[in-house]
Each structure stands twice: as C-alpha cells, then as structure tokens.
Amino acid sequence: MPKGKYVNHKGRNRKFTSREELEQEKKELEEKMWRKRRGEVVDTDEDSDASDNDGTSESGSEEESSEDEENCKAKGVSNLIKIENPNRVQKKSKKLTTTTKTTELEEKPELSRREREEIEKQKAQAHYQKLHAEGKTDQARADLARLAIVKQQRAEAAKRREEEKVQKENAAKEKVTQVNRALGKKK
C-alpha cells in the first residue's frame, strides 16, 4: 500500500493475453477451418463460445449495425462535418489470423541497435584475429619482423657463447699443458 493520502488506480486492472492462450485459440480456429473445409460444420456451444472470443461472430453483427446507421437519416449537420480527434486512441481488435501471420514472418526477433553493434563488433574481432593468425595484418607483420630480429639476436648470442666456451676450454687445456711442462710431466 503506498504511503500518503492519494492513491493512483491507473493500470491496476490490466489483463494481457498470454502466449499459450493465443496458441490455443489459433489451434481451435485451425480445427474449425479444417472442419469447415471438410464439410463437417457442427455448430456446438463450444464452437460458438470460441468464435465469440475470436471476434469472428461479432464482426457480422457489427456490419449489420453499421448498415443500419448508414440507412438512418442523419440529423443536422452531423453528416457534413466529420470530426476526428488525433489524440483519441481507437482500439483495433486484431484477428488471430493476422497475428499468426506476423509471428510466422518474424521468427527472428529484431535486435536493438546495441545488440546489432555488439554482434558486428564480435564478428569484426573474429575476422581480425583470423587475418592476424594468417599474418596479413600490419600488426602481425610487425610482430613477425620483431620475432625474426629476436631469433637472429638469440642465434648470434648462442654462437658467441659457444665460441667463448671453446676458447675457455682451449685456454684451460693450454694452461694444463703449461703446468705439466713446467713440472716436467709427460703425457
């Protein structure tokens, strides 16, 4: 319960038709149409109630009442002046067949702008990663060039270390041979 003196009652009694109810009505209508095509038109209480819910039987009575209104003599200038209030919202009852056609056409829900941009961004990122892996982007070429330089530097450093190792071994052997000569030992 809201605090305060005034209570807003707008929108409390709104009722929306669920998807299951719409599908049930669609099945009933399809079954009725199928029976009508086969010639098995059996008008029971259930069928008439279902047709009242669909609005199909009401349309016939609406057509009759509109014809009566046209046949009546208009009084005054009401037939000359037609007033349309642009702010007035007229309830348009949708038939079940029109709603099912639109749902069949719209199996994919339309995405919002942000969702579309997010999907496009992901596709672009995947495409860039693919090109990068193949080495076709500027950044990939730069990375490969840097990698080649690093490999070359490491190879040169390894070669230098080997040469230094060989020189140290030669120097050690030479030292051992000099010590042995100085001591007068023969091998």
Identify the pLDDT of residue 169: 95
The string of DSSP letters for 135-185 reads T-SHHHHHHHHHHHHHHHHHHHHHHHHHHHHHHHHHHHHHHHHHHHHHHT-
pLDDT > 80? residue 74: no
Q: Give the Cα separation of 187 and 172 in Å (integer).
A: 16
Identify the pLDDT of residue 78: 62
Domain span at 51: 19-64
Q: What does the mean pLDDT of the chain come to? A: 77
Burial of 51 (0-12, 13-18, 19+ CB in 10 A): middle
Identify the pLDDT of residue 85: 74
**CB of 48 within 8 A of CB of 125?**
no
Q: Give the Cα separation of 76 and 115 in Å (integer).
A: 57
Higher per-residue confidence, 106 vs 150? 150
Last residue of a domain, one of 31, 49, 64: 64
Q: Is residue 32 part of a domain?
A: yes
pLDDT > 60? residue 52: no
Q: What is the mean pLDDT of residues 113-130?
A: 93
Identify the pLDDT of residue 87: 79
Q: Which range has the top average pLDDT, 12-21, 31-40, 118-127?
A: 118-127
**CB of 35 within 8 A of CB of 42?**
yes
pLDDT > 50? residue 53: no
Identify the pLDDT of residue 184: 82
The pTM is what? 0.32
Q: Is residue 8 part of a domain?
A: no
Higher per-residue confidence, 152 vs 7? 152
Give me the number of domains the chain comprises: 2
Q: Is residue 10 part of a domain?
A: no
Identify the pLDDT of residue 2: 56
pLDDT > 60? residue 71: no
Q: Is residue 139 part of a domain?
A: yes
For residue 58, give the H/E element and its range.
helix 56-71
Q: Is residue 84 part of a domain?
A: no
How many Cβ atoms are within 10 Å of 54's Cβ, its own excluded?
A: 19
Identify the pLDDT of residue 93: 76
Identify the pLDDT of residue 163: 96
Q: Is residue 80 part of a domain?
A: no
How confident is the model over 88-115, as pLDDT tens digits? 777 777 777 766 665 555 566 688 989 9
Q: Is residue 138 part of a domain?
A: yes
Q: Is residue 42 part of a domain?
A: yes
**CB of 123 within 8 A of CB of 52?**
no
pLDDT > 90? residue 164: yes
